[in-house]
Structure 1
Amino acid sequence: MDKLNFLEVIAAIAVFISLLLAVFLLTVKTERKLENRLFAAFLIINAIDISGLFMHYFVDSYNVKTFKISAYLLVMPLFYLYVNAVCYSDFTLRRKHLLHLMPFIVVNLILVPRLYLAEGVAKEYFFKHMWNSPEMFFYQMIAELQYFFYIVGIFMILKKYRKIYLENYTNPNTLLYKWLFQLTIIFLFIHVCIIFKNIIRYTAYKDLFIWIHIVAGASFLLAACWFILKALNYPELFRRIDSTLQLTKEFAEIPENENKTDETKDIQIEQLKNFMVEKEPFLEPSLTIQELAGQVGIPVRELSVLINHHMNQHFFDFVNEYRIKKAMTLLKDPSKKEHTVLEILYEVGFNSKSSFHTSFKKYTHQTPTVFRNS
């Protein structure tokens, strides 16, 4: 099998898996319909893009083939909207989101005179030499600018999501941030391959062009398979946040918080610490800062500033520190020696073995098993 045929096989498998996963996302019963539909649309557009590697076996229309190429401009907008929908529980599609279609529409309008409306020899000539045309240079420039804009936007959303999550939640399931970050890095790698491929297109290195095509196609295929495995192994993966939640630094310096005396802050901190030790609210795995504020009797904004600003800890780390201390006590307790580490981590409020081990090692510089044996 030569390289070109191998590339076509890779592309066909990637298209099949992408469409299969898209059908699953569109038909599965879930409360998270919007993000499933957005990711399904993302997979379908990618499948259409990859299908160009073997489309000539089934489609002869130059219009369809060109429309397929322009569809790539829908990939990043869909992924950007998907990330928003996954991260924020109150995200909905609005009319303003139609603006994301503008690059796709503009490029297709530019192609109308010399391709979509052309006929016969003129259309065939343009299509065969299109990558050297001003229209396609413009298309590639728009595609790169668009990609840069969206990739920066996605990383900004993830950065904000992680900060808000750590300041407001204690459930150690931060897999969402890690998973979306990893997925974005994979797509960034694939895009870098595409950039190199587009550069090499204008050189005589045809074999290298095909090999980069193979790497990009195989990477997308592996990413689709990886997504399926993640979905199967972590069906509870996502915990979204409200987009109206603010970062602590955005309200830490407002007058009502700045006017608090050091003595008042010290009293509140002592009150909070005593409450954590006596009432052990951290044993609740899904404890949020809003719930703790109601229990301890401190307004949620004051509590957020107190922990995240004056105690210089994320709420996430603040609560997990008490969980680790409780776990250390239980691991040293002779009456608990028959209890496994897994049982103890659930008992102290964790619901993830990997998160417990990470937090325990961060606090004690030892694994739970080593600590217990020592």
Structure 2
Amino acid sequence: MAKISVFVSLLLAIFLLTVKTKNKLANSLFALYLIFFAIDNSGIFIDDNFIKNHFNLEFFRWTICALILPAFYLYVLSVCFADFRLKAKHLWHLIPFIITNAVFLFRLYLLNDGAKMLFYNHRDQSPEMSFLFLVLGLQTILYSIGVFLILKKYRTIYQENYTNPRTSIFKWLFQIAIVLFVLYYLSILKNLVRYANLDFLWIWSNTILQFLVLTVTCWFVLKALNYPELFRGIDSKLLLTKDILSKENENLAEKKENQNDAITNQILMLKQYMIEKEPFLDPSLTIQQLSSQIDIPVRELSILINHHMNQHFFDFVNEHRIQKAMKILKDKSKNQLTVLEILYEVGFNSKSSFNTSFKKYTNLTPTAYRNAS
């Protein structure tokens, strides 16, 4: 199972590094993650004779574990935000790897062959391995928090600025992150079993974990190949409405009374424009595009919708799409139109997102709504 996992991981890594795409950085970081994972996972089937002839290489292979989660974290950043670029500050992610190798340099790499053999045979009781496991455990906790904070920020920015469900990668990355970190926390438990002197439990925990790793690797590969459109990003420089308001609230109290009438007029104008011009029929409508159409700055429009109208841009646009779909479903002259044709006509491009939104506003499925009309 470990050999298959390593083979599949390296195969996908080669594909990602060689395929022509605009998402080169994200693909490269994902490939690095897969390569580091493959190197780490290869230890299960490396021959003992090879290890005894190349102890330093084996010790260095252990430290590669410290690069897996940083690579995944940077990959999530690069997929979520199209303007992400690697910078000098990202070298901080190498610190655990560097520190671990510095410790190993003085404690392991410079030992003679006899001392290395003695260490290797009793490595489970060594302070060096305890230190490595501690580093990996802390990494798992910190990076799991970091990844989910990024996904939370991405989801909020997306809902306030975009409407096209197919460009959203939140669900995809959320699933990947959940599965990955479950495996890592299970790995921590497995390593604790190592010190319990329960060989039977150790063997079975290794086997079960390896089976899960193989399953996840294959699922990950198939998902990535079947849904390439998921690898799109958003502009990380877009501000959340609460951040915009916090920058503009110094004189808000003085201006509030004068602004109420202007805000009301803007809301009326926006609603009238949505009804008359129907910009929501564009499945890839963004807040920037709507801003240019009605001549309201993006910042003002974002505050208007997300704060004063108390809706995300995503929900605001979809509400108008659902209202138009409801009119079509009620129209007896359009009974020949299928639900699939209607959802495309009103600006959706995903049946699942259309059904979810429709039920949210009507508590009925489109078909049930049509039958009840």
Cα drift, residue 335 of structure 1: 2.5
Distance 1:340 1:318 in 2: 25
Match among 271, 281, 284 for residue 283 of structure 1: 281
Cα drift, residue 175 of structure 1: 4.5
Distance 1:188 1:89 in 2: 24
Query: Residues 11 and 347 (structure 1 numbering): CA distance in 2 closer, same or farther, change over 3 Å?
Result: same
Structure-to-structure mapping, 1:255-294, within 5 angstroms = 255=249, 259-260=255-256, 261-294=259-292
Q: Which amino acid aligns with 2:114?
A: V
Q: Is the 8 A contact 1:35 1:86 kept in 2?
A: yes
Query: Residues 341 and 257 (structure 1 numbering): CA distance in 2 closer, same or farther, change over 3 Å?
Result: farther
* 31-40 or 94-103: bigger deviation: 94-103
CA RMSD of aligned residues (A): 1.5
Cα drift, residue 58 of structure 1: 7.3
What residue number does 1:37 align with?
A: 28
Q: Which amino acid aligns with 1:185?
A: I
Q: Does 1:159 align with 2:157?
A: no
What residue number does 2:308 align with?
A: 310
Q: Secondary structure of the equivalent of 2:221?
A: helix
Structure-to-structure mapping, 1:313-352, within 5 angstroms = 313-352=311-350
Match among 3, 6, 18 for residue 27 of structure 1: 18
Q: Secondary structure of the equivalent of 2:348?
A: coil
Distance 1:324 1:75 in 2: 44
Q: Is the 8 A contact 1:115 1:127 kept in 2?
A: no
Q: Which amino acid aligns with 1:16?
A: F
Q: Is the 8 A contact 1:257 1:302 kept in 2?
A: no
Distance 1:226 1:370 in 2: 35
Q: Which amino acid aligns with 2:321?
A: R
Match among 97, 113, 123 for residue 116 of structure 2: 123
Distance 2:62 2:196 in 1: 20
Distance 2:48 2:116 in 1: 20
Q: Which amino acid aligns with 1:353?
A: K
Distance 1:234 1:333 in 2: 36
Cα drift, residue 370 of structure 1: 1.4
For this pair of structures, how many residues does the alignment match? Answer: 365
* 20-29 or 129-138: bigger deviation: 129-138
Query: Residues 278 and 171 (structure 1 numbering): CA distance in 2 closer, same or farther, change over 3 Å?
Result: same
Q: Which amino acid aligns with 2:80?
A: C
Q: Deviations over 1:109-149 (max 9, x none)?
A: 11122321112211100122222222222221121112211
Q: Does 1:359 align with 2:352?
A: no
Distance 2:223 2:333 in 1: 38
What residue number does 2:236 align with?
A: 243
Structure-to-structure mapping, 1:166-181, within 5 angstroms = 166-173=159-166, 175-181=168-174
Q: Which amino acid aligns with 1:12?
A: K
Structure-to-structure mapping, 1:85-234, within 5 angstroms = 85-173=78-166, 175-234=168-227
Cα drift, residue 235 of structure 1: 2.0
Distance 1:224 1:268 in 2: 51
The two structures have a TM-score, normalised by structure 1, of: 0.94
Q: Is the 8 A contact 2:78 2:85 kept in 1?
A: yes
Q: Is the 8 A contact 2:82 2:234 kept in 1?
A: yes
Q: Secondary structure of the equivalent of 1:339?
A: coil
Query: Residues 266 and 187 (structure 1 numbering): CA distance in 2 closer, same or farther, change over 3 Å?
Result: same
Distance 1:58 1:228 in 2: 33
The two structures have a TM-score, normalised by structure 2, of: 0.94
Q: Deviations over 1:10-60 (max 9, x none)?
A: 111111111111111111111101111111110111111111000126732
Q: Which amino acid aligns with 1:190?
A: L
Q: Is the 8 A contact 2:280 2:321 kept in 1?
A: yes
Q: Is the 8 A contact 2:96 2:135 kept in 1?
A: yes
Cα drift, residue 351 of structure 1: 1.0
Distance 1:127 1:105 in 2: 21
Cα drift, residue 366 of structure 1: 1.0
Structure 1, unmatched stretches of 5+, are 1-9
Q: Which runs of 4+ in 1 moved over 3 A?
A: 255-258
Q: Is the 8 A contact 2:140 2:181 kept in 1?
A: no
Query: Residues 333 and 59 (structure 1 numbering): CA distance in 2 closer, same or farther, change over 3 Å?
Result: farther
Distance 1:155 1:316 in 2: 21
Q: Which amino acid aligns with 1:273?
A: K
Q: Secondary structure of the equivalent of 1:295?
A: helix
* 248-257 or 352-361: bigger deviation: 248-257
Q: Deviations over 1:68-101 (max 9, x none)?
A: 1111000110000000000111111122222211
